Structure 1
């Protein structure tokens, strides 16, 4: 089984058996910018992901077709296209909710991948699949439903809103306390895990997010 190529797509790891899902195996530092259009709608979410060195090295070896121990532009482009195709079913780990209801994201036109200081850097933007006016309570975040990938925002400044339309809104970064989440949702989390051990939307309760109230 070509596990290494599956790892390179990140999202494909959601298919691994239960023991592998006990704790994260991939770590990434993220930056997320929610951008508003001038007409008062959510225009897009801009993602910047930096993967850990161990995972990056594994991917480099898998996509290094000419075995020169580096990734050239063609190899990086292939990696980006592989991720763009494979992560579609997982909404690119990017979540949008409006008054508690999820809004799917559209497939990005391209995922840019570069290699910096021994780590893979991924940059892409996604748009909501339908118009999202900046009204009510909105939330934006990144999480892996399989829990195989740990997403970290190093600082609250790594979650931002951009655009004049957000000026009328209040926003805050929320970093849920895992103990409080488990205590408040113990029975629901247990049922969700055993009903779907390969990944559940309940895991987003633990994810850092930006909440916006307009």
Structure 2
């Protein structure tokens, strides 16, 4: 059970979204993150791990400081940072750590990060962590990597295309591109879906996925 204010914020975000689901189109983020992402492949062409770094905005970071600075020295010491990281690892498990991977339209199951590392740098909370596929995952066909909050409560921003990377020998036979959907593109491709009925249907297509920046990789057969 999550007892900290920080954990409660993530849980409360979901409750708010469901209570106001008919107005999902007007949802807006309350937490802002400068993010970077790296997908790593091994020599056999399998996806080996995903690496994330998130730098939170100073307003949210300040609220974390208020919640976790137990000795009131205006910073987060190593034991306090460990408590932050543990809380986040628990809180975000149900949202798959905002990470989505599909291969030819099929979702790839990911393990929880073994550990989340937290630092407090110039007034900002910074998290780094690694996820690995739950089973052997060959990179073949179209692979789509997305890092986004399905509740729209947190905005993860990749400022430059280079903030979404691939590395490792397994990606040598792949091409990649970063896709940043614009409003016209979203409307053109999903016009039939983006209706009043859609926004009132909790089982409908994930709107947050439509608007999220994503990394698309196409790999040839081995």
Instruction: Compute the TM-score of the two structures, normalised by the length of structure 2.
Output: 0.87
| Residue of 190, 195, 198 corresponding to 2:201 | 195
Shift of residue 38, structure 1, vs aligned partner: 1.9
Q: RMSD of aligned C-alpha atoms?
A: 2.2
Shift of residue 120, structure 1, vs aligned partner: 0.5
Contact conserved, 1:6 with 1:13, CA < 8 A, in 2?
no
Q: Deviations over 1:14-39 (max 9, x none)?
A: 22242797211110011000000122
- What is the aligned residue count? 211
Q: Could you tell me how far apart the structure 2 residues matched to 1:49 and 1:82 are?
A: 15
| Residue of 114, 120, 126 corresponding to 2:119 | 114
Superposition pairs of residues 49-60 of structure 1, within 5 angstroms: 49-60=54-65
Q: Are 1:29 and 2:23 counterparts?
A: no
Q: Are 1:163 and 2:164 counterparts?
A: no
Q: Could you tell me how far apart the structure 2 residues matched to 1:43 and 1:192 are?
A: 37
Q: CA 1:26–1:124 in structure 2 vs 1: closer, same or farther (change >3 Å)?
A: same
Q: Are 1:5 and 2:2 counterparts?
A: no
Shift of residue 213, structure 1, vs aligned partner: 0.4
Q: Could you tell me how far apart the structure 2 residues matched to 1:98 and 1:77 are?
A: 34
Structure of larger gyration radius = 2
Where does structure 1 lack aligned partners over 5 or more consecutive residues? none
Which secondary structure does the structure 2 equivalent of 1:123 belong to? strand
Q: Could you tell me how far apart the structure 2 residues matched to 1:6 and 1:186 are?
A: 36
Instruction: Compute the TM-score of the two structures, normalised by the length of structure 1.
Output: 0.90
